[in-house]
Amino acid sequence: MPKLYSGAEIVFKCLEDQNVSHIFGYPGGAVLPIYDELKNFNSIKHILVRHEQGAGHAAEGYARSSGKPGVLLVTSGPGATNAVTALTDAYMDSVPLVCITGQVPTHLIGTDAFQECDTTGITRPCTKHNWLVKDINDLAEIMHKAFEVATTGRPGPVLVDIPKDIQFQKTKYKNYRKVKKLNGKSHDNFSQKNIDELIKLISKAKKPIFYTGGGVINSGPKASELLRELVYATGFPITSTLQGLGCFPADDNQFLGMLGMHGTYEANNAMYSCDLMINIGARFDDRITGKIDEFSPKSKKVHIDIDPSSINKNVKVDLPIVGDIKSVLTSTLKTLKKSKKNFSKSNKHQISNWWEKIQKWRSKRSLDYIGSEETIKPQYAIERLYELTKDRDTYITTEVGQHQMWAAQHYKFNKPNRWMTSGGLGTMGYGLPAAVGVQIAHPKKLVVDIAGEASVLMTMQEMSTAVQYNLPIKIFILNNEYMGMVRQWQELLHDKNYSESYTAALPDFVKMAEAYGCVGMRAKTPEELDDKIIDMLNTDRPVIFDCLVDKQENCFPMIPSGKPHNQMLLGPKDQKDKKITGKGRTLV
Amino acid sequence: MANSKSAYSIAGKKQKNDTHIIVVWVDNEAGVLARVVGLFSGRGYNIESLAVAEVDQKENISRITIVTTGTPQVVDQIKLQLKKLVPVHKVADFKREDKNVIFKEMALFKFVANNEKLIKAFKACKNFNPVILDETKKSKVIQITALRREIDKMSKNLTKFGLVSVSRTGAVAMTRGSDVFK
């Protein structure tokens, strides 16, 4: 007779078969049988967080920096509802997560039992799929399917809800065999004809641009390599969304910087004026397009995406190509090399006017800011952080707000999977737990959370996790005492009525660090900044770095709401030249 | 343009709405209807009517027929989003005007009136395959099958014959001829 395993054992057998090495979680009544089994599975290490949202974001950080799915294990009721923010965040940013939740025993479901909630009902809109396991014999199959759904096609979160009695029941465990096709959900739907059309458009274009996004990173490191090859082979300019940063080297001359609401002048103007836009793994988000009616009015648009529902959702495109970026780029390069040898040379003349125009836009230097000797400008802080860390393989996470945009603008990424930020959902409090997850996946690497003082307080409790597991994460807080982005919008759009955006009673972050058992540092002047950052980098423990920055600084350039790309608001330097000051700015 | 006090863009021009019938073949499992309906409500799509039942017991497949309105772009999105759901096998979409597709709804009418009116009521239904399902001296329950707007009209016109209660289904659809949607 074959050996019988309990539901709890099967959960771990499945995790073992899926090569899971770390899970993030928090115990509770409805998952105790699973926690009880933990001791028997040495290959799986459990990271105890301090809040289930932290488990979710840590799993996201782990997944985005490693390319493997992140796994979290939480209890029923509040455990599950606390994880909802992280699941929604992962859903918006296409991060593969497998969330295992405990549930009250099956006979109590529907009775409003202690710590019961309709977990599958609550998480239905924020997962790719979820399952309530009602029969022990389905458990193994569901667990494996969960991993498959999370990681195939456009990745995303899934949830498996396991009632407590199922965790105790016993059944056989069949060895896992990978199924090829998932209910007819195929992903590579493009044909050579699509590629030929793309090559035709590429060879005709006079004002082309690549617009790349997180899909390139999700397609794996090979996709980024292929992208670089294609961009060099064509000689075209390239811009990237917030999530796509790192798939093309930021210090390369062909890179125009990030586009969108806080993107560079050259990237946004090039998007507006181009005649061929090749979208690779981006989704025409509203932070990117601005006013949709006037979005890139004269261009032919190509959209390469693995998710057919992303195509023609916000912007109508001329050539849709549904497929995995890696395979589409492979075919494109193959065809390009075959039909047009030395294309970048032969094509140089055709796009030379375009490059001249781009250089003109570039010469505006839209990321410039007015420096200061007295106060630390937040942009300067990030520039210094970049200069002092660029020789190491650094992983950056962020919270959400001005600091996030400054980090995207001024920190230069050269490799994929090095930049973890909450783009779609915009979750304040993402960065610190994400840094925990990144450090777990890359124990020897430098992991910095570029944070704002308001965001970081939302999940500050996870410092305790970092201390427990000796994770030397660096929390680099740009402290301006305001919810900076809220303040900026209030300044620009609500007549400087700074309603509730100032935090009047902030904790002393240095003392706080000490209370957590890690290291606190503070920088007040530009003069001491470098030394302090070097101190931080040389500390092999978790650090909270309180960087006191200019309280009034705004994040520019910026496309104001409801405006197209060619009507950007530039920084204070430019505005002084144009004599738009004070009140005028609020009217733009 | 006026100064927008919003972090979001302003809604663009509204396109014309069309009525579509979307047919979805799904695994008949717990929560599948909630997934489909939740997708509609969550993304702000309309549901005008809904009909759902298992059609293949062996394969455990249910067929959901949804009447919806939307711009061509929205209808495309509905289809593509539905196809992403794990228990969904295939999705068909027909325009209401499509001559190659049959649409039918069923309605049950209860009349309480004198005999003369009850006879008139039955006659008034004669174009819509009326079937008398229940009959007493004072009442009749009549089943008809027709198009949505025909039933709308009927239920309005029949009040004078003693119509006291209406129960109706959502539309179901099928293509004409020998072709089967794959």
- Show residues of chain B in contact with A183, CB under 8 Å: 86-89
Q: Could you tell me where the beta strands, DSSP code E, fall in A32-93? A: 45-48, 70-74
- pTM beyond cutoff 0.90: yes
pLDDT of residue A493: 86
Q: How far apart are CA A449 and CA A463, in angstroms?
A: 12
How many residues appear in chain A?
588
pLDDT of residue B3: 53
Which of B9, B30, B85 lies at the smallest CB-CB distance from A291? B9
Report the share of chain A in percent with pLDDT over 90. Answer: 88
The pLDDT of residue B176 is above 50: yes
Let me know if A483 is a catalytic residue: no
Q: Using an 8 Å Cβ cutoff, are A255 and A373 in contact? A: no
What pLDDT digit, counting tens, does each position of A140-176 carry?
A: 999 999 999 999 999 999 999 999 999 999 999 987 7
Quick one: how many helices (H) and strands (E) in chain A? Answer: 25, 20
Helix axes A402-410, A378-389, angle to 10 degrees: 50
Region A536-565 average pLDDT: 93
- Nearest residue to A400 via CA among A321, A348, A360, A459: A459
CA angle (A430 as vertex; A213, A420 as ends), nearest 5: 35
In this predicted complex, what is the ipTM? 0.89
Q: Provide the token pair at B70.
A: 């939307």
The pLDDT of residue A530 is above 90: yes
Residue recorded with tokens 């249910």 = B62
pLDDT of residue A572: 74
Q: What is the DSSP string of A372-422?
A: -SSSB-HHHHHHHHHHHHTTS-EEEEE-SSHHHHHHHHHSPP-STT-EE--
Q: How far apart are CA B117 and CA B131, in angstroms?
A: 17
Per the residue annotation, which of A13, A164, A474, A532 is the catalytic one?
A: A164
Percentage helix, strand, coil, to 5, in chain B?
Answer: 30, 40, 35
Let me know if A255 is a catalytic residue: no
Torsional sign, CA A199, A203, A205, A211: positive
Let me know if A514 is a catalytic residue: no
Q: How far apart are CA A247 and CA A510, in angstroms?
A: 36
Per the residue annotation, which of A68, A115, A134, A197 is the catalytic one?
A: A115
Q: Provide the token pair at A221.
A: 């490191």
More confident: B6 or B143? B143
Region A324-335 average pLDDT: 96
Report the share of chain A in percent with pLDDT over 70. Answer: 96
Query: Inter-chain contact B38–A125, Cβ cutoff 8 Å?
Result: yes
Let me know if A52 is a catalytic residue: yes
What pLDDT digit, counting tens, does each position of A234-244 carry?
A: 999 999 999 99
pLDDT of residue A180: 58
Query: Inter-chain contact A313–B83, Cβ cutoff 8 Å?
Result: no
pLDDT of residue A585: 34
Task: Give all domains of chain B, ordered by start, each with its CATH number.
Answer: 18-95 (3.30.70.260), 101-174 (3.30.70.1150)
Nearest chain A Cα distance for residue B58, angstroms? 17
Q: Using an 8 Å Cβ cutoff, are A236 and A302 in contact? A: no
Closest residue of B to A294, CA-based? Answer: B12
Q: What is the DSSP letter of B23?
A: E
Interface residue B30 vs chain A (CB under 8 A): yes
pLDDT of residue A579: 40
Query: Inter-chain contact B38–A132, Cβ cutoff 8 Å?
Result: no
- Nearest residue to B1 via CA among A350, A420, A348, A562: A562
Q: What is the DSSP letter of A550?
A: -
Q: What is the DSSP string of A261-327?
A: TT--HHHHHHHHH-SEEEEES----HHHHSSGGGSSTT-EEEEEES-GGGTTSSS--SEEEES-HHH
Region A339-348 average pLDDT: 88
Which of B3, B12, B87 lies at the smallest CB-CB distance from A292? B12
Interface residue B77 vs chain A (CB under 8 A): yes
Closest residue of A to B82, CA-based? Answer: A309
Torsional sign, CA A249, A250, A251, A255: positive
Residue recorded with tokens 């593969």 = A96
Q: What is the DSSP letter of A357?
A: H
Per the residue annotation, which of A13, A18, A37, A52 is the catalytic one?
A: A52
The pLDDT of residue A582 is above 50: no
- Show residues of chain B in contact with A149, CB under 8 Å: 86
Half-sphere exposure of A149 (CA within 13 A, CB side): 23
Query: Inter-chain contact A125–B42, Cβ cutoff 8 Å?
Result: yes
Q: Using an 8 Å Cβ cutoff, are A161 and A133 in contact? A: yes
DSSP-based three-state secondary structure for A85:
helix
- Nearest residue to A259 via CA among A285, A236, A298, A281: A285
Let me know if A114 is a catalytic residue: yes
